[in-house]
């Protein structure tokens, strides 16, 4: 029996930068951390599925299409206005403007991507903390090595 090597998700972090791409894209110091996060996906997303079935096919035939095009959602606890510069960047982002992102996991995995913010919403509820969601339209996903001392 193998030893369980599960790793806690605590200390996972997502960083954002508005404007020009950071000079060291794998270094969190060039970004602003998005505080209060409770979840974000790590990965390049799924390629679209194309139906390649023809009249001679004996079953459905699908092939992989282009990657991207799907929105991914990050979520977290909404902090007071002025308390989290990272949340403010997401909230204030023009839907036509690219933002630069760096994800760092406690496993040592790290990746960068570029995305537009399609939506930023805050959800109040009875007997709950305020939460936010940001829908991102990512592209240019790249696995990177976090800079030395670059873990959160």
At 152, is the pLDDT very low, low, confident or very high (cuts 50, 70, 90)?
very low
Domain assignment present for residue 6? The answer is no
Domain assignment present for residue 87? The answer is yes
Each residue's pLDDT tens digit, 72-96: 899 999 999 999 999 999 999 999 9
More confident residue, 150 or 133: 133
Domain assignment present for residue 5? The answer is no
Residue indicated by tokens 């939506």: 119
Domain assignment present for residue 65? The answer is yes
Given a cut of 90, whether residue 5 has pLDDT beyond it is no
pTM of the model: 0.83
56: domain CATH number is 4.10.410
Provide the β-strand partners of residue 145.
Answer: 109
The domain in which residue 121 lies consists of: 13-145
Domain tally, the chain? 1
Domain assignment present for residue 3? The answer is no
Residue indicated by tokens 């873990």: 151
Domain assignment present for residue 7? The answer is no
CA distance 53 to 26: 42
What is the per-residue burial (b if ≥16 Cβ within 10 Å, else e) of 94-128? eeeebbbbbbbbeeeebbbbbbbbeebeeeeeeee
């Amino acid at each position: 029996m193998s030893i369980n090597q599960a790793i806690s998700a605590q200390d996972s972090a997502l960083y954002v930068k508005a404007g020009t791409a950071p000079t060291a894209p794998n270094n969190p110091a060039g970004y602003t951390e998005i505080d209060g996060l409770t979840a974000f996906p790590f990965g390049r997303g799924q390629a679209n599925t194309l139906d390649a079935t023809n009249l001679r096919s004996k079953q459905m035939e699908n092939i992989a299409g282009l990657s991207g095009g799907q929105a991914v959602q990050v979520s977290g606890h909404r902090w007071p206005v002025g308390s989290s510069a990272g949340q403010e960047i997401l909230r204030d982002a023009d839907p036509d403007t690219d933002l630069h992102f760096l994800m760092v996991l406690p496993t040592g995995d790290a990746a960068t991507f570029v995305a537009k913010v399609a939506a930023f919403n805050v959800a109040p509820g009875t007997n709950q903390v305020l939460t936010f969601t940001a829908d991102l339209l990512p592209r240019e996903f790249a696995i990177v090595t976090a800079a030395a001392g670059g873990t959160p």
